[in-house]
Each structure stands twice: as structure tokens, then as C-alpha cells.
């Protein structure tokens, strides 16, 4: 039985970050992955989805051209097969880049086999076993598909299959309108596919603020119909698949399932090991070290599943890798930031409306509508609303949810402000160019600042005697 210091199961974004950290300290490690290699993000996730969305948004722009005096927009058409070729061509570039980064170590350290744990220190690889002092589980996740729907074969599309399609179906039911379903459902509708959306969760694109959920629901319904009910049944008919939800039936050529993803921890033999679990039978993972209890196992990335997005998977892998070869260190998490690349973009930053409400935080909401916002008018993109949540007592920025044109950028400003612990008055003293979409953020901050209790600076600009931006957090911490 081969013995290594560290074994990493999964060569996705989390596993690759873990490997980089481990390799700084020891060469006696293995990475186990039975493929396909190239990471979920580059192969079937973040990257190909963004290419498809880009094409769809570019095509959608034709509706605004006549208003701008540009003729011929209504003559444009989509060649679906060519779109899919383009998606795959760029996808292949991203995958190639990931794989060429891996090339220096795969020959010596990669074992292309499926792993299963025999014990806390031993991994079964079918025809051999590996003993490891530490094991990092970074096995990712897979789309959730109800067993009863498996019979529909090719008519059932998930994100593992979507980007492989030679062309796109004419009529599609999209089941689930969280981040992935909303982004891709809208893109497919914009490419001219007859899309029918189904969801039982009002949290479109991950929004938790009820008024923003309603706003987005109305906006998206202008592009494709949404049934806010669970799908009761799908039946094959002569014309395709009949999808029924809440007594409403539509016939489509295929069903795109976007009902969430399940961590790949159920096929690893973990259930047979003595590992700590909570009341819901979830593994107890230290959120600062990513170690499972005091076992030699670490869990990172989508396999952990608390923050199933790319930069968090990389962080978790990096922390687990570092800790596997050093004494366990506790690391802080970054300020939460999640973006849905719908149009307009959706983002949830810091503490969500739901988190603040559930923890009974005393907060005010600063609001702005992008309908009538100067630069949004120029862009013919006057849709959206931004809510920033601020501590009523001290003006600290707690979180935000937004639907905004190019909101991905505004979301970063907010995440950085929250991370730097800049309060609402300090944020207002920072520069806002004119005319930019960020001026909308300033309006929302002003609205929030007006509701904060207590003293406030006389003007938004700092006085000569005022401490520099960023000092407030230190003063608050001292008092
Ligand atoms: C359509 C879509 C769009 C997305 N868009 C975004 C986005 O815009 N932004 C963003 O931040 N995130 C996005 N994500 C999420 C992001 O892709 C994931 O959070 C991230 O890729 C997770 O990385 P990971 O390392 O945990 O898993 P993965 O990259 O899936 O790696 C897991 C690896 O483990 C291997 N494996 C599994 N089980 C075993 C086993 N038993 N033995 C050996 N090997 C095994 C697999 O082969 C795989 O290579 C998107 C996801 C999808 C599906």
C-alpha cells in the first residue's frame, strides 16, 4: 500500500488550489480524479454559461437599435448551431488553460481513478489502495435530477449536457429559477427559444428581499412566462413532453433541470466512517479550518456546499491544503458576494435581507430605482432596483441586494466597502463620477443615511479635521 502525506480527491477548482498549497511543503502527495478533468467551472459551469449569456445579450440588443437610429436590427437572426460551436470553442480555450496549468505535475502525482474511503486514512481505488496522513475531499457537486425524470433521456437537459448540444431545442421548460436556471433560461429565451419557467421558490436568482423578488418576477415574465408552482408531472406525448404544474400544462421539446446541485459526498463511503454529524446528518466541518471534526479529513468546495461558487471553492481548497501540511490555522471568510448574470444583473452582498430579518437586526433600507437613473437612460437599460441595508444605530453597511444594469460592478464596490468596514457616511464621502451607474448606489446610500439615528456630518465631503475614511471602524471597535 502506497503511503503519502496528503491525498486530494478531486482535481476541480478546490482540489487544484489545495494541491498548490500542499506542494509548497511536500512532494509526497497524490491527486485522485477519474475525470473529466478541466474543472466544472471551465467545462460546464461559470465559463460556457457566460459565453452563451453574452451571445444572447448581444442579440437582444437589436431591440434597442432602431430607437438609436440604427436600422437593420430586425433583420438579424441566430444560427443556433453556430452559437453552440462558438460556446464550445471558447469553453475549450478555458479548459485547455486549466489543463496546461496541471501539466507539470499530472504525470507524477495524478491518479486517474475513482476514490472511495476505506477508513479515515485509507482510500480504495479499485485495484489499489493509498494510505494518507491527511485526505482532502474536494469532489464537487452534480445537478439534482428526480429519479422519475431519468426516463426522458435526451429530452432532459442539465448543465452537464447543455453545452454539448449541437443545436438548441425550439421549446424548453426550465425547472428551477435560482442562479443557474434564471441566467440560462433568460439567455435561451433571448436566443429565440420558447422558454417556460417553473419554480416554487420566489428567490429568483438568489434574491431574498421580497420586494426585489416581485420586481424581478415581473421583469422576467415580460421575456418568458413563469409558473410559480412545483412541477407535478412530465409526460411524453406525440408532440414532445407535457409539463404540468399547478393545473397548468405546456408542451415542450425538452426540459432543462436547474433544481440545484447535490454535493458528491454520498458515494465516498463516508457514511461508514466515524465522523461527527449534526442533527440533519450533515458532516460537522470547522468553518475556519475546513477539517471534519478532529479527523484527518478536510472538506472543501462544492462538496462542502455552504458557498457553492468559484472563488469560495478556491479559498476553501487553499485553506484545507494549507492546513493539511501545517498545524491547523483558522482563516476568516471573505465578505459574501454572489452574482447572477441575468439582465439586469442580480447580486446579494454581505448579509442578505433574509439573514438580517431572521437575526432581528435593527436596520434601515436605502433604496434606489434604476428607472429614470441618468446613465441607465443613456444605455436604454432603465430597469432595476438596489437596496442597501444599514445599521440604524451606527450607519454600518451590513449588506445589499440589487437588480441593476451592470450590477456585477456595483456589487463589488459594496462588497469591498463592507469588508473594509466603511460606514454609510464614509462611503458617501468617496468619489462618484458623473454620469455613471454607481450614482444610483450613492442615491441608495443617501436614502439609508437619512434614516440612521444620531449625529451626521454636515456635508458629504469630509471636514479638514475629520479622520480619513476607514477610521470609523477602528473608533467603533475601541468604544
Ligand atoms: C452552470 C453553472 C454556472 C456557474 N456559474 C458560476 C459563476 O458564474 N460564478 C461562480 O463563482 N460559480 C459558478 N458556478 C459554480 C462553480 O462552478 C463551482 O462552485 C465550482 O466549480 C466548484 O468547484 P469544486 O472544485 O468544488 O468542484 P469541481 O470543479 O466539480 O471538481 C470536483 C472534481 O472531483 C472529481 N470527483 C468527484 N468524485 C470523485 C471521486 N469519488 N473520485 C475521484 N474524483 C472525483 C470530479 O471528477 C471533479 O473533477 C457555476 C456552476 C454551474 C454548474
pLDDT at 475: 82
Dist CA 393 CA 276 (whole Å): 40
Closest Cα to atom 30, ligand 1: which residue? 140
| Closest C-alpha residue for ligand 1 atom 47 | 35
User: What average pLDDT does the segment 332-344 reach?
Assistant: 98
Pocket of ligand 1 (CB under 6 A): 9-15, 32-35, 39-41, 44-46, 49, 114-115, 138-140, 159, 180, 264, 268, 301-303, 308-311, 313
- What does the alpha-carbon distance between residue 239 and residue 6 come to, in Å, rounded to a whole number? 54
How would you classify residue 411: left for phi > 0, otherwise alpha for psi between -120 and 50, otherwise beta?
A: alpha
pLDDT at 337 exceeding the cut of 90: yes
Q: Which amino acid residue places its CA nearest to atom 24 of ligand 1? A: 140
Mean of the pLDDT values across residues 230-259?
Answer: 97
**Plot region of 421 (φ>0 → left; ψ -120 to 50 → alpha; else → beta):** left
Count CA atoms closer than 13 A to 428's CA, side-chain side. 24
Q: What's the gap in Å between 257 CA and the centre of ligand 1? A: 17
Helices (H), 137-195: 159-162, 179-190
pLDDT in tens, 54-113: 999 999 999 999 999 999 999 999 999 999 999 999 999 999 999 999 999 999 999 999
3-class DSSP state of 227 = strand
Percent of the chain with pLDDT over 70: 100
In the predicted structure, residue 474 carries a pLDDT above the cut 90 = no
Categorize the per-residue pLDDT at 282 as very low, low, confident or very high, splitting at 50, 70 and 90. very high
Which residues, 6 or more positions from 347, have their beta carbon under 8 angstroms from its beta carbon? 337, 338, 339, 340, 400, 401, 402, 404, 407, 408, 410, 411, 414
Please report, for residues 160, 337, 378, 399, 479, the alpha-carbon distance to residue 361 in angstroms, rounded to integers and kept in the order given: 40, 20, 38, 12, 20
Q: In a mutational test of the pocket of ligand 1, which residue from 17, 34, 38, 41 has the highest number of ligand atoms less than 8 Å from its CB?
A: 41
Angle, CA of 428, 430 and 435, to the nearest 5°? 90
57: nearest Cα among 386, 372, 406, 438 = 406
* Centroid of ligand 1 to alpha carbon of 140 (angstroms): 5
CA angle 174, 175, 180 (to 5 degrees): 75
Residue 335 CA: distances (Å) to CA of 312, 411, 415: 10, 11, 6
The whole-chain average pLDDT of the chain stands at 97
Q: Residue 375 corresponds to which cell in the numbers above?
A: 446613465
**At 431, is the pLDDT very low, low, confident or very high (cuts 50, 70, 90)?**
very high
Beta strand 363-369 with 156-157 is: unpaired
Task: Say if residue 325's pLDDT is above 80.
Answer: yes
Cα separation of 361 and 454, whole Å? 18
Give nearest CA residue, ligand 1 atom 35: 10
Residues 332, 288: contact at Cβ < 8 Å? yes
How far is the C-alpha of 290 from the C-alpha of 272, rounded, in Å?
A: 20
pLDDT digits (tens, 9 = 90+) for 182-202: 999 999 999 999 999 999 999
Question: Do you find a cis peptide bond into 435, omega within 30 degrees of 0?
Answer: yes
Helix-helix angle 407-419:438-451, to 10 degrees: 40
C-alpha cell at 41: 467551472
pLDDT computed for residue 472 by the predictor: 84
Asked if the model's pLDDT at residue 478 lies above 80, the reply is: no
SS (H, E, C) 4-44: EEEEEECCCHHHHHHHHHHHHHCCCEEEECCCCCCCHHHHH
Q: Using CA atoms, how far apart are residues 208 and 230, in angstroms rounded to an integer?
A: 19
Nearest CA to ligand 1 atom 22: 302
Amino acid at each position: 500500500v502506497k503511503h503519502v502525506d496528503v491525498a486530494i480527491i478531486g482535481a476541480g477548482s478546490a482540489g487544484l488550489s489545495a494541491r498548490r498549497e500542499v506542494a509548497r511543503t511536500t512532494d509526497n502527495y497524490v491527486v485522485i480524479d477519474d475525470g473529466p478533468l478541466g474543472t466544472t467551472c471551465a467545462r460546464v459551469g461559470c465559463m460556457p454559461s457566460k459565453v452563451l449569456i453574452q451571445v444572447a445579450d448581444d442579440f437582444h440588443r437589436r431591440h434597442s437599435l432602431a430607437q438609436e437610429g440604427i436600422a437593420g436590427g430586425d433583420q438579424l437572426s441566430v444560427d443556433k448551431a453556430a452559437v453552440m460551436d462558438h460556446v464550445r470553442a471558447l469553453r475549450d480555450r478555458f479548459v485547455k488553460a486549466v489543463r496546461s496549468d496541471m501539466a507539470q505535475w499530472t504525470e507524477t502525482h495524478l491518479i486517474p481513478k475513482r476514490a472511495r474511503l476505506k477508513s479515515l486514512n485509507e482510500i480504495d481505488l479499485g485495484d489499489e489502495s493509498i494510505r494518507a496522513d491527511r485526505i482532502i475531499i474536494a469532489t464537487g457537486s452534480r445537478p439534482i435530477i428526480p429519479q422519475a425524470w431519468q426516463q426522458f433521456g435526451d429530452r432532459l437537459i442539465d448543465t452537464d449536457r447543455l453545452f454539448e448540444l449541437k443545436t438548441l431545442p425550439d421549446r424548453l421548460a426550465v425547472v428551477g429559477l435560482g442562479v443557474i436556471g434564471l441566467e440560462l433560461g433568460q439567455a435561451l429565451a433571448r436566443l429565440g427559444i420558447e422558454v417556460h419557467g417553473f419554480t416554487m421558490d420566489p428567490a429568483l436568482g438568489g434574491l431574498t428581499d421580497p420586494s426585489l423578488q416581485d420586481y424581478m418576477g415581473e421583469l422576467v415574465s415580460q421575456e418568458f412566462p413563469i409558473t410559480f408552482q412545483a412541477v407535478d408531472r412530465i409526460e411524453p406525448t406525440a408532440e414532445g413532453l407535457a409539463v404540468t404544474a399547478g393545473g397548468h400544462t405546456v408542451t415542450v421539446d425538452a426540459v432543462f433541470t436547474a433544481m440545484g446541485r447535490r454535493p458528491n459526498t454520498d458515494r465516498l463511503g463516508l457514511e461508514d466512517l466515524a465522523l461527527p454529524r449534526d442533527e440533519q446528518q450533515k458532516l460537522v466541518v470547522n468553518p475556519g479550518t475546513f477539517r471534519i471534526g478532529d479527523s484527518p479529513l478536510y472538506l472543501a468546495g462544492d462538496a462542502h456546499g455552504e458557498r457553492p461558487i468559484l472563488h469560495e471553492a478556491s479559498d476553501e481548497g487553499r485553506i484545507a491544503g494549507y492546513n493539511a501540511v501545517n498545524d491547523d490555522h483558522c482563516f476568516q471568510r471573505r465578505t459574501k458576494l454572489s452574482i447572477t448574470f441575468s439582465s439586469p444583473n442580480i447580486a446579494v452582498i454581505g448579509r442578505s435581507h433574509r439573514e438580517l430579518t431572521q437575526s432581528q437586526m435593527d436596520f434601515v433600507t436605502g433604496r434606489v430605482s434604476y428607472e429614470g437613473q441618468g446613465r441607465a437612460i443613456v444605455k436604454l437599460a432603465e430597469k432595476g432596483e438596489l437596496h442597501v441595508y444599514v445599521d440604524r444605530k451606527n450607519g454600518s453597511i451590513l449588506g445589499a441586494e440589487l437588480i441593476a444594469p451592470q450590477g456585477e460592478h456595483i456589487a463589488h464596490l459594496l462588497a469591498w466597502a463592507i469588508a473594509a468596514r466603511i460606514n454609510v457616511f464614509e462611503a458617501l464621502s468617496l468619489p462618484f463620477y458623473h454620469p455613471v451607474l454607481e450614482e444610483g448606489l450613492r442615491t441608495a446610500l443617501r436614502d439609508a443615511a437619512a434614516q440612521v439615528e444620531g449625529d451626521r456630518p454636515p456635508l458629504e465631503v469630509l471636514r479638514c479635521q475629520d479622520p480619513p475614511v476607514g477610521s470609523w471602524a477602528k473608533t467603533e471597535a475601541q468604544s
